[in-house]
């Protein structure tokens, strides 16, 4: 955009709230911003005396190709639109909070006579009660364990509840009253549901008082077993309350954010307070040159998007932009009034300081962790004679079942940590039989071709295998014409031959094969660099095996059902979707089979009779069908490497 074009465009900007999009000369969005007054805000980027020191601002005269604006009616709408456009375009110069999941919550709904407590990631406006969020899977599992042990709500799905014929193991060990088969009065079960709600809300005093009153009542009726169960509930609640720190005299739900930064490296810590008690927290790390006030506003706006849990009060550090607009936006998302505060004194200020201290601690721990990762990558580069630091590694594994059902896996790691977004499955297209070398050549050829087309290649490729697999992978790389990617082979540890049967069997060390080198390299067996490679290799093996099991189950179900008259591909698919496995189809009654899509009473009766026919008769009718059933019920499949 020439200076003349820029001046003309700036003169056309409206003096209204809205969002502006800066694009480079190829048309890609490089920055999205919001403003109360679009004309004043956008002009500030190009004023000679601007105090904005962000690096991209100085480059705008060379980068900027065009400028677009969208006018809205309020600051709240500008915040909302900015968030949507950042997620859509992912501009390179915006603050972007990248997270592959939402925090875990507990959901308790009353749409069923016997409600259950379940873990979810996305709260919805469905009338159910949600508790949390919980910062880790271990904390939520501990909460569920306490609920299951002392309050005895069912854990099975509605489908299992309606179809079960006898109580499960949880009933046998006293963790479930078995409403699936026993005539449990709904009002008795509902009392447990209400107690769970009070427990998860942190309202321990009224809950303990209610339980003690019930304990005295049943004890007076000489129902001592029930009285003992209520006593155990009271003890469990008291112990749980002792573990929680009191955060505020107000019994409300709060999220408190603290910030710590060193240059462009930032950590924001979200501290969770539920019912006036601290229940957990979570750090969020990223890089940005944004000033603190603009950074906090943008982060919080993205943090509460996508149906995230919104508390009644949000406490922020510093002086963020547009706290009133944020409060209005969050109130709309929650469906009730939400306060966004920047406390200056009192106990809420202490909470913000506590969150900031946690942010500083998390920043320091991450910095130490980053230093250790860099050292591990440096040692890998040095010991394996790599051309560069292997920040992004990919590992490939071939798996088969008795020489057939060939599949392959690709797993990825970024700075030694798993990167599931880059995991891939492969089905072999050209290889028949158990030929690991040809299989590896095909898979790597396909990977390299896609990598060249998309400009997406890793720093290091790890092959699960020895010299042969490594040579096949190198041949694929040369055939496609890929350069600048390092490659090694990682051979598994194996048992060594021993002449004395009484002596414990020895094992060889893990060995790393390099291109053009005869003898393998043996890294220290307890070193972090070997651990990074073996963890990646083991993950590739697990991923391949999981995929093969899934295919075998589908193949087994299809093979068994192929022989039933009137059951074609559409009905096989419907049965698989409805029941999930051949075992579940076998266990189903004629009426349950008839409920599946496309099935009727006649076909259901024919299928039920076929699956329950004597084994000898079925073996005579269907040659090889037992093999398919065996495949469908395998608990473990050995993968070749």
User: What are the extents of the domains in the chain?
Assistant: 3-89, 254-364, 392-544, 551-632
Mean pLDDT of 207-234: 82
CATH number of 551-632, picked from 1.10.150.20, 2.40.160.20, 3.30.1490.20, 3.40.50.150: 1.10.150.20
Domain 392-544 has CATH 3.30.420.340: yes
269, with CB counted inside 10 A (0-12, 13-18, 19+), is: buried
Per-residue pLDDT at 41 exceeds 70: yes
Give pLDDT, residue 299. Answer: 86
Give pLDDT, residue 614. Answer: 65
State the Cα–Cα distance between residues 260 and 264, nearest whole angstrom.
Answer: 10
Give pLDDT, residue 639. Answer: 36
Asked which of 71-75, 233-237, 333-337 is least confident by mean pLDDT, the reply is: 233-237
Q: Which two tokens stand for residue 587?
A: 């266990």
Q: Hey, which residues does 104 pair with through a beta bridge?
A: 134
Question: Which band of pLDDT confidence, cut at 50, 70 and 90, is reported for residue 622?
Answer: very low
Strand 392-401 relative to strand 404-414, pairing = antiparallel
CATH number of 254-364, picked from 2.60.40, 3.40.50, 3.90.700, 3.30.420: 3.30.420
Q: Which two tokens stand for residue 598?
A: 């496309």
Whether the domain at 254-364 and the domain at 392-544 fall into the same CATH topology: yes
Query: Sheet holding 313-315: strands in order across?
Result: 245-246, 277-287, 265-274, 254-262, 313-315, 339-341
Mean pLDDT of 426-431: 84
More confident of the two residues 618 and 273: 273
Mean pLDDT of 493-516: 68
Contact predicate 630/556, CB 8 Å: yes
Give pLDDT, residue 204. Answer: 66
State the Cα–Cα distance between residues 34 and 23, nearest whole angstrom.
Answer: 15
More confident of the two residues 401 and 398: 398
**Which tens digit of pLDDT belongs to each residue from 251-301?**
788 899 999 988 878 899 988 887 777 777 788 888 777 788 888 888 888
Note the pTM of the prediction, 2 decimals: 0.49
Number of other residues whose CB lies within 10 A of the CB of residue 149: 14
Give pLDDT, residue 623. Answer: 39
Asked which of 173-182, 325-334, 391-400, 556-565 is least confident by mean pLDDT, the reply is: 556-565
Question: Which band of pLDDT confidence, cut at 50, 70 and 90, is reported for residue 618?
Answer: very low
State the Cα–Cα distance between residues 107 and 116, nearest whole angstrom.
Answer: 8
Average pLDDT, the chain: 79
Q: Which residues contact 284 (CB under 8 A, 6 or more apart)?
A: 97, 99, 267, 268, 269, 270, 299, 303
Per residue in 289-306, is it b (16+ CB within 10 Å) or e — as a string?
bbeebbbbbbbbbbbbbe
Q: Is the peptide bond before 133 cis (omega within 30 degrees of 0)?
A: yes
More confident of the two residues 289 and 455: 455
Asked which of 263-272, 561-570, 580-589 is least confident by mean pLDDT, the reply is: 561-570
Please state, in angstroms and as integers, the Cα–Cα distance from residue 406 to each residue in 440, 443, 490, following that order.
11, 11, 20
Mean pLDDT of 461-476: 91
Contact predicate 357/260, CB 8 Å: no
Fold for 3-89, please state it. Answer: GIY-YIG endonuclease (3.40.1440)
Contact predicate 41/17, CB 8 Å: no
Q: Which SS3 state, helix, strand or coil, does residue 173 take?
A: coil
């Amino acid at each position: 955009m020439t200076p003349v074009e820029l001046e003309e465009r700036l003169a056309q900007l409206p003096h209204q709230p809205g969002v502006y999009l800066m694009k480079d000369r190829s048309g890609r969005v490089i920055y999205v911003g919001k403003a109360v007054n679009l004309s004043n805000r956008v002009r500030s980027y190009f004023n000679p005396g601007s105090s904005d020191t962000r690096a991209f601002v100085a480059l705008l005269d060379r980068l900027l190709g065009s400028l677009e604006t969208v006018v809205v009616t309020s600051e709240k709408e500008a915040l909302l639109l900015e968030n949507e456009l950042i997620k859509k375009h992912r501009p390179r110069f915006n603050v972007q909070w990248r997270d592959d999941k939402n925090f875990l919550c507990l959901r308790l709904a009353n749409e069923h006579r016997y409600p259950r407590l379940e873990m979810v990631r996305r709260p919805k406006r469905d009338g159910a009660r949600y508790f949390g969020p919980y910062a880790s899977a271990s904390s939520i599992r501990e909460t569920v364990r306490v609920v299951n042990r002392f309050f005895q709500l069912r854990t099975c799905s509605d489908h299992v509840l309606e179809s079960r014929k006898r109580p499960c193991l949880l009933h046998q060990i006293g963790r479930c009253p078995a409403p699936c088969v026993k005539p449990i009065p709904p009002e008795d079960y509902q009392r447990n549901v209400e107690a769970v709600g009070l427990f998860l809300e942190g309202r321990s005093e009224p809950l303990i008082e209610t339980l003690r009153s019930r304990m005295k009542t049943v004890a007076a009726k000489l129902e001592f077993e029930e009285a003992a169960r209520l006593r155990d509930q009271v003890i469990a609640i008291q112990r749980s309350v002792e573990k929680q720190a009191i955060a505020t005299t107000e019994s409300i739900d709060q999220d408190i954010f603290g910030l710590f930064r060193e240059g462009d490296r930032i950590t924001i810590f979200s501290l969770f307070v539920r019912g006036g008690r601290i229940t957990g927290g979570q750090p969020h790390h990223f890089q940005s040159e944004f000033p603190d006030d603009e950074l906090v506003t943008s982060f919080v706006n993205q943090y509460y998007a996508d149906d995230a849990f919104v508390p009644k009060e949000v406490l922020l550090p510093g002086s963020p932009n547009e706290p009133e607009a944020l409060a209005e936006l969050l109130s709309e998302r929650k469906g009730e009034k939400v306060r966004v505060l920047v406390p200056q004194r009192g106990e809420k200020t202490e909470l913000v300081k506590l969150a900031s201290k946690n942010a500083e601690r998390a920043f320091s721990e991450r910095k130490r962790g980053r230093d250790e990762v860099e050292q591990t990558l440096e040692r890998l580069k040095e010991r394996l004679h790599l051309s560069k630091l292997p920040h992004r590694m990919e590992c490939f594994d071939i798996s088969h079942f008795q020489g057939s059902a060939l599949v392959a896996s690709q797993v990825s790691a970024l700075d030694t940590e798993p990167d599931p977004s880059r995991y891939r499955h492969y089905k072999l297209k050209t290889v028949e039989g158990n030929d690991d070398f040809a299989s590896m050549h095909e898979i790597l050829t396909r990977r390299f071709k896609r990598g060249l087309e998309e400009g997406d290649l890793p720093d290091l490729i790890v092959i699960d295998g020895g010299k042969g697999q490594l040579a096949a992978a190198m041949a694929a790389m040369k055939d496609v014409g890929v350069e600048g990617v390092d490659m090694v082979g990682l051979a598994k540890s194996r048992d060594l031959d021993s002449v004395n049967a009484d002596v414990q069997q020895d094992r060889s060390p893990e060995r790393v094969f390099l291109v053009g080198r005869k003898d393998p390299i043996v890294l220290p067996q307890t070193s972090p660099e070997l651990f990074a490679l073996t963890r990646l290799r083991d993950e590739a093996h697990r991923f391949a095996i999981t995929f093969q099991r899934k295919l075998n189950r589908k193949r087994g179900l299809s093979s068994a059902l192929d022989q039933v008259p009137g059951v074609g591909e559409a009905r096989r698919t419907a049965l698989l979707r409805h029941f999930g496995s051949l075992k579940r189809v076998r266990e189903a009654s004629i009426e349950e089979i008839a409920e599946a899509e496309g099935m009727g009473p006649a076909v259901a009766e024919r299928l039920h009779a076929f699956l329950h026919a004597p084994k000898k008769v079925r073996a005579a009718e269907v040659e090889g069908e037992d093999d398919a059933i065996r495949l469908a019920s395998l608990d473990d499949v050995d993968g070749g490497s």
